[in-house]
Amino acid sequence: MLRTAISLVLILFVVVCGSVVSGHFWAGEKEQMPESITVTVSKGMTVAEFGRKYNLGRKELKKIFNLTSRNDLERQVDDFGMSYELLSKKVDGVLAIQAEHASKNWFKIPLKGGLWVIFLSAVFTLLRKGKISARNRKWIYMAAVGIFGILLGSDPSPMGTVKDAIVLLGLKGVVFPPRLIALGIFLLMVVLANKFICSWGCQIGTLQDLVFRLNRDSKDIRTLFGQIKIPFIVSNSSRILFFLLLTFVAFIWATDIVGVIDPFKLFKPQVIGMTGGLFVALLLVLSLFVYRPWCHFFCPFGLVGWLAEKISIFRIKVDYDKCVSCGVCSQACPSTVMDAILKQDRIVPDCFSCGTCMEVCPANAISFEYGKRPRPPVGKFSERVVSNMEQ
């Protein structure tokens, strides 16, 4: 237990210190939503004068006033018949998009995206060949945390594509197009290979998984100090309610309830705050005993990704001609998902394609394959067989 606690503290220390150092390298990123403004228009003010007053370029003015020609810049603002309330709202939205664009590091984002593709392709190959094991799984997670978290920071992240989109729409009534593109790419990764971006690329997801494995034996099968498999109906209900609460508060009170406790800020420690730091510390301690608690109980992308994985092209599958109904895969699985995949008798929870089930199966009946999962033969898991499995 002492060794596990020391390992957790060491991991946290390396993440925080490494993120502080890399944060200085990526200095210049600002994440601040502009305050709402109420525009004022003097008598006879032209569109061009209005743009200079509020630091709006021709592109932004065209969007606000629906300009059709360059000459429209010399028209008076009042000629467009917009109420000042509507005008203020439009300017607010444009300034919010400007702030979003300015806050992004447009060198780091494609760099991180390219590294994700390379890294996930390599892991995909290893998983397809059954080469992910207890021996290298932790190292892969450490590499993911180091590259996509410590070195490349908190942004972009899978969660941000959903959470930030909802918050920006609720606060300012606008959508940041690059974020929707990123969301589409992440969901494509989910569909191509079952939840792969969450499984092996998300900096917080892989960190939780790494911590969870600290509380397992050397074969990554049995728990050392007790781990709990939360029923999916409990975890997913919590995630759905949190998603609804996030959306409701964003649209009704224009507030981001995730901002204060955002675990991705661990990779940007200078902005995490005391409340956020305490929450992340508790989250990581909980990760020793519960598999990926943020992903299962709170993550907005986790919920969206769970829906998308229902049509995944590559996924964990069972060959029932080889399966001996021993139940070892279900016991070794970090969550309840393998039991659901095995028996096909309930809604299948999130599968993070960790490969544990493939590694422990004594009959080599489990693989990461293309296509729909087959259903077990009738009576494959009868009461007698299930009883033997439990024993």
Per run of 10 residues, the mean pLDDT along the chain (length 391 residues) is 91 95 76 80 92 91 91 92 91 91 90 97 96 94 97 94 95 93 96 96 97 92 90 97 97 94 94 93 96 97 96 96 93 95 94 96 96 90 54 47
Query: What is the reported pLDDT for 384?
Result: 44
User: How far is the C-alpha of 205 from the C-alpha of 198, rounded, in Å?
Assistant: 6
- pTM exceeding the 0.85 threshold for the entire prediction: yes
In our burial notation (b when 16+ CB lie closer than 10 A, e otherwise), range 51-72 reads beeeebeeebbbebbebeeeeb
Asked if residues 351 and 337 have their Cβ atoms less than 8 Å apart, the reply is yes
Select from 15, 89, 76, 4 the least CA-distant residue to 266.
15
| Spatial CB neighbours of 381, under 8 Å, sequence gap ≥ 6 | 325, 342, 343, 389
**Chain centroid to CA 381:** 35
Judge: domain 314-390, CATH 3.30.565.10.
no
Tokens linked to 318: 């069972």
DSSP sequence for 3-27: HHHHHHHHHHHHHHHHHHHHHHHTT
User: How far is the C-alpha of 349 from the C-alpha of 235, rounded, in Å?
Assistant: 10
Query: What is the reported pLDDT for 279?
Result: 97
User: How far is the C-alpha of 123 from the C-alpha of 199, rounded, in Å?
Assistant: 10
Query: What is the domain partition of the chain in residue ranges?
Result: 2-29+106-307, 47-103, 314-390
